[in-house]
Amino acid sequence: MLRTWRQRITITDIFVWAIGLSIAGVVIWGSISTLLQGQYPGKVWLDLSIKGLALGGVYALIAMGYTMVYGILKMINFAHSEVFMSGPFTAVFVAQALSKSGFLNRQPVISLAIISLVSMGVPTLIAILLERICYRPLRNAPRLVPLITAIGASFFLLYVFRGLYGSGSFGYPAITSLEQSWAFAGIQIYKTQVAVIVGAVVMMLVLFGMVQWTKIGKAMRAVSEDKEAAELMGINVDRIIVFTFGVGGASAGAAGVLYTLLFPVVNFYMGFFPGIKAFTAAVLGGIGNVPGAFLGAIILGLLESVGPNLFLTGLGVPSPSQLKDAIAFIVLVLILIFRPTGILGERISRDKA
């Protein structure tokens, strides 16, 4: 406390800041030279931004599961990416059956509701089972133990689903009434993108409202603040934790429905990258913070969709979109190094990082 800033700075800090500054330099230099080259017209950027917004919406819903569980149990639910995968990977069979019978295009709204129900129900169930079997017995164990359990559970679920449904990819049937697009200011806006963005925003508002204004949301916040005190106040902590896992699973399932509107192919390993990116989004916004997760997800979606072309084209990197997954990881690493509390996360002390 009494040391001056000169004494506090160590070699590692200098090294870390040097890395950070050089990455910032590369990003700025790359963006400027890309824009100067003028390879892409303005509407390409707009187009990419809309894609990024839709993607961000999906990430936001997956991130809810991470952020709420972290808020309460202070652990990363590593298996959440598989919880996410379980929904759309199961619902694809429902969708295919509906499409075969012709019901899908006759009653798209009811069909989507049925698909969503399945896609949200399965992850909810799995998340609750996960909590009951894997995490509850380990609530007081040393910290590495539940983390390793979560990694194991993640692999177990991944390969159980591979065993159940096979290792192939399945296509979601297209819904004809969502296939059209609007031409707007020279760019194409697809109905699916609009549906995804609207769906994500509505879901986020519902979740935010639930956490903020309902009784159970209040209980959730109380448990995440202080488990013992909450218990003394008559809150059934176990039930709140189960509920949190359930809500996280359901919102991951909803994300799954939206995800399949954007990328209509599902397979057993589809969860890994969206899961990691959603986690990045949750950390970016400040883990444990619901609006933060939304903000972080939108930023990450935009970065991922616009970033590779903007930062890397000017540097002469061939096919920059191959590196879009690396961008998410670099964002994750940078945010954890420089601001582990995230953009909005002031509440959680720096000790947790």
Which residues within the stretch 305-324 sit at the binding site for other proteins (CB under 8 A)?
317-319, 322-323
Q: How far is the CB of 241 from other proteins (least distance, A)?
A: 15
Closer CB to other proteins, residue 109 or residue 228? 228
Closer CB to other proteins, residue 9 or residue 333? 333
- Choose, by CB under 8 A, the member of 189, 237, 262, 336 that binds other proteins: 336
Cα separation, 27 vs 315, whole angstroms: 10
Considering only 25-33, 37-45, 74-82, 101-109, which stretch makes contact with other proteins by CB under 8 A?
74-82
Is residue 155 close enough to count as binding other proteins by CB under 8 A?
A: yes
Counting residues that bind other proteins (by CB under 8 A) gives 59
Q: Which amino acid is at 262?
A: L
Quote the radius of gyration of the chain (alpha carbons, Å). Answer: 21
Is residue 152 close enough to count as binding other proteins by CB under 8 A?
A: yes
Q: How far is the CB of 305 from other proteins (least distance, A)?
A: 16
Q: How far is the CB of 95 from other proteins (least distance, A)?
A: 12
Question: Please, are residues 64 and 207 in contact by the beta-carbon 8 Å criterion?
Answer: yes
Question: Please, are residues 87 and 161 in contact by the beta-carbon 8 Å criterion?
Answer: no
Q: Which residues contact 35 (CB under 8 A, 6 or more apart)?
A: 310, 314
Is residue 330 close enough to count as binding other proteins by CB under 8 A?
A: yes
- Choose, by CB under 8 A, the member of 26, 28, 110, 151 that binds other proteins: 151
DSSP reduced 3-state for 171: strand
- Nearest partner of 189 among 202, 199, 178, 175, judged by Cα: 178
Closer CB to other proteins, residue 43 or residue 347? 347
Closer CB to other proteins, residue 194 or residue 323? 323
Burial class of residue 106 (count of CB atoms within 10 Å of its CB; 0-12, 13-18, 19+): exposed
Is residue 332 close enough to count as binding other proteins by CB under 8 A?
A: yes
Sign of CA dihedral 326, 331, 337, 338: positive
Is residue 10 close enough to count as binding other proteins by CB under 8 A?
A: yes
Question: Please, are residues 90 and 119 in contact by the beta-carbon 8 Å criterion?
Answer: yes
Cα separation, 230 vs 23, whole angstroms: 44
User: Which residues in this chain contact other proteins in the complex, by CB under 8 A?
Assistant: 10-12, 15-16, 19, 74-76, 93, 133-134, 137-138, 140-149, 151-160, 162-166, 272, 276, 279, 283, 317-319, 322-323, 325-326, 329-330, 332-333, 336-337, 340, 352-353
